[in-house]
Structure 1
Amino acid sequence: MTKIAVLVGSLRKDSINRKFAVALEKLAAGRMEFVYADLASLPHYNDDLWDNVPDSVTQLKAAIEDADGVLMVIPEYNRTYPGVIKDAIDWVSRPWGKSSWPGKPVAITGTSPGVIGTAVAQHQLRTAMVASATAVMGQPELYYAYKPEHFGADGDIVDEATRTYLADWIGSFASWIAKTGK
């Protein structure tokens, strides 16, 4: 089964992006195993910490290295992606010469109550991930305007059109990993 490291950019307990990631996970059942990275315990990037590297950093790098692909599910804060995602990118890309990112297939998505979803943040994150030498899936893009009525209490997608659309996107990600993965 394809192992996916999932980075959710919202740390909030009732995050709609975490709910969205869980809904995508349910659609990927049987094809992909989602492993959620713990970003809440990740410190801000500080090069001085490499002398006594935090366990959360070691665990994050190992999760990325062990995964066949990475799914980044992000909110949009002030027209960009959250700082916790930037910290994750920086930790995983270092120390110099030991980045865990090169060649890793990555898909980026996110949701918000607004009509453009997280389009601006995703665009900026794609730029950062290309610079990190990942294989970023460019198409199809997924900017989802969150509608709570499309999801059941258990996280299942209850709106058939939404289920079909998101299942197709997961299928595209699976194809992307098969095409670009190592």
Structure 2
Amino acid sequence: MTSYRIAVIVGSLRRESLNRQLVNAVIRLMPSNFSATQVPIGDLPPYNQDDDDKPGEAVQRLKQSISLAHGLLFATPEYNRSIPGVLKNAIDHGSRPYGKSAWAGKPAGVIGISVGAPGSSMAQQHLRNVLAYLDMPTLGQPEVFMQAQPGLFEPSGDVQESSRAFLQSWTDRYVAWVTKHAA
């Protein structure tokens, strides 16, 4: 059985991030031949083209994590109807210098959760636009726009029973997507 490495990018730096909790629940639903590692983005400096020839250690780590991955999983909160600046910063670092993007061709999945009913839908749409430009085949359906409600996450970290089947369905589609598109 082929093994697949998934690099996970969470667009929130908060320790108790809902999106980090959602990602952890999805990782638990992946088959045993999938391994997922969250890639830290909080220590990346603001992107500056002047640094393209001498990227710092955090930037090199990010690009190496992306390069070694068979697929990417993005979890984004919604800040002001778009993606957080730290997530855009990480994407910019991984895509530069021009012509040397670590993202190109990597299959991606996008999920999100927020306290509002739209469940990060606007942020996800903006992120999908960016990923399309970066030549990342991105799973389109089903979409995961979850609203955080009391009791959604069980003490184990799993999502409650009423949401688990939906999240498992998405995870199964994502696994098939990565399997189909991984180079």
The letter of the residue matching 2:131 is: M
The letter of the residue matching 1:94 is: R
1:29 Cα deviation after fit: 4.9
Give the aligned partner of residue 179 of structure 1. 180
The whole-number CA distance in structure 1 between the counterparts of 2:93 and 2:117 is 32
Instruction: Give the TM-score of the pair, scaled to structure 1.
Output: 0.95
Q: Does 1:26 align with 2:32?
A: no
Q: Give the root-mean-square deviation of aligned CA atoms.
A: 1.1
Contact 2:52–2:96 (Cα < 8 Å) also in 1: no
The letter of the residue matching 1:154 is: S
The letter of the residue matching 2:153 is: F
1:175 Cα deviation after fit: 0.7
Give the aligned partner of residue 90 of structure 2. 88
Give the aligned partner of residue 3 of structure 1. 5
Give the aligned partner of residue 164 of structure 1. 165
| Cα distance, 1:132–1:151 mapped onto 2, change above 3 Å | same
Q: Does 1:62 align with 2:64?
A: yes
Tell me the number of residue pairs that the alignment of Structure 1 and Structure 2 aligns: 181
Matches within 5 A, 1:81-160: 81-157=83-159, 159-160=160-161
The whole-number CA distance in structure 2 between the counterparts of 1:37 and 1:112 is 21
Which contiguous aligned blocks of 4+ residues in structure 1 show a shift greater than 2 angstroms?
A: none
1:51 Cα deviation after fit: 3.7
Give secondary structure in 1 for the equivalent of 2:46.
coil
1:161 Cα deviation after fit: 2.4
Contact 2:6–2:69 (Cα < 8 Å) also in 1: yes
Structure 1 stretches lacking a partner, 5+ long: none
The whole-number CA distance in structure 2 between the counterparts of 1:61 and 1:177 is 19
Give secondary structure in 1 for the equivalent of 2:52.
helix
The letter of the residue matching 2:73 is: L
| Cα distance, 1:176–1:29 mapped onto 2, change above 3 Å | closer
* TM-superposition CA deviations, 1:6-54 (whole Å, max 9, x none): 0000001111111111111111151421111110101111011224311
Give the aligned partner of residue 38 of structure 1. 40
Q: 1:75 aligns with which of 62, 74, 77?
A: 77
Contact 2:9–2:39 (Cα < 8 Å) also in 1: yes
Return 7-16 or 43-52, whichever deviates more.
43-52
The letter of the residue matching 2:8 is: V
The letter of the residue matching 1:49 is: D
